[in-house]
Amino acid sequence: MKIMVDTHTHTLASGHAYNTIREMAKMAADKGLEGLALTEHAPQMPGSCHLFYFQNLKVVPRELYGVRLLMGTELNIMDETGRVDIAQNWLEQMDIAIASIHTPCYGKSRGKEENTQAYLNVMQNELVDIIGHPDDGRFEVDYEALVKAAKATGTLLEVNNSSLRPDGFRKDTYKNDLEMLRLCKKYDVMVTLGSDAHVDVDIANTLYSSAVLREAEFPEELIANTSLAKLLSVLKRNR
């Protein structure tokens, strides 16, 4: 199994990543990818780019080195209402959007019920295509409710390779991903594999995510980014 589109990466614009758009695209081409999503942290993340960056994405070519570029964002879920930090009119102009819980923006866990509600509410947004790293045990979640809502709304759930690093800062990620994947298989819900690369060499890295997929005996047909055409056909905004 090989992913052909990395749906979660960052450039220098996010403030704590290390490569340019061109460098990321060239590495994606070198690795044989069909597509690359550049999903910069939205403005409420400390050190990230201003809203002006996202408002100007129209000037960025959507193909470099033969790789289709999906220019988007990783939104910050701000609270249990599912509020995010870029308005709908600007999300409409992007190619892809992830929504994630990050401590600097969401704060500490509000409890399992509230965390779950935050995800359920943000999935109602027709321009939120992916829930990013829902495996972080610092923010407990009801995975059955999450998976059922993903199915109902057509939202992709992410298996985040970076979350699974042995030296990572997120909690209980392998166990949580395994539970989520087993439920996704049970309810026929699609996932996407995101590297969360903050440096070009990490693009399309599935070293850790592949291991949990194997243990879950997860079917390839439920992985959205094994081809560009497949991914584009299942992104919520394109339906």
Stretch 104-111: mean pLDDT, rounded? Answer: 86
Residue 168, pLDDT score: 85
Q: How far apart are CA 86 and CA 6, in angstroms?
A: 22
pLDDT for 109 beyond 80: no
User: Is the CB of residue 12 less than 8 Å from the CB of residue 19?
Assistant: yes
Q: Which residues contact 89 (CB under 8 A, 6 or more apart)?
A: none
Residue 24, pLDDT score: 98
Q: How far apart are CA 224 and CA 116, in angstroms?
A: 23
Q: How far apart are CA 152 and CA 139, in angstroms?
A: 22
Q: What is the 3-state secondary structure (H, E, C) of 185-233?
A: HHHCCCEEEECCECCHHHCCCCHHHHHHHHHHCCCHHHEHHHCHHHHHH
Stretch 112-123: mean pLDDT, rounded? Answer: 97
Q: Mind listing the pLDDT tens digit for each residue in 9-39?
A: 999 999 999 999 999 999 999 999 999 999 9
Q: Which residues contact 224 (CB under 8 A, 6 or more apart)?
A: 7, 156, 190, 191, 192, 230, 231, 234
Residue pointed to by tokens 């390779």: 161
Look over the chain and give the mean of its residue pLDDT values, rounded to a whole number.
96
pLDDT band, very low/low/confident/very high, at 91 (cuts 50, 70, 90): very high
Residue 219's CB: how many other CB atoms inside 10 A? 12
User: Is the CB of residue 70 less than 8 Å from the CB of residue 28?
Assistant: no
Residue 178, pLDDT score: 98
Between 109 and 83, name the one with better pLDDT: 83
Stretch 77-86: mean pLDDT, rounded? Answer: 96
Amino acid at 189: V
Evaluate the CA torsion angle 14, 18, 23, 25 in order and state its sign: negative
Residue 108, pLDDT score: 76
pLDDT band, very low/low/confident/very high, at 77 (cuts 50, 70, 90): very high
Domains and CATH numbers, the chain: 5-238 (3.20.20.140)
Residue 1, pLDDT score: 73
pLDDT for 107 beyond 90: no
Q: Mind listing the pLDDT tens digit for each residue in 39-67?
A: 999 999 999 999 999 999 999 999 999 99
Q: Mind listing the pLDDT tens digit for each residue in 119-137?
A: 999 999 999 999 999 999 9
pTM (two decimals): 0.96
Residue 110, pLDDT score: 82
Q: Mind listing the pLDDT tens digit for each residue in 169-215?
A: 989 999 999 999 999 999 999 999 999 999 999 999 999 999 999 99
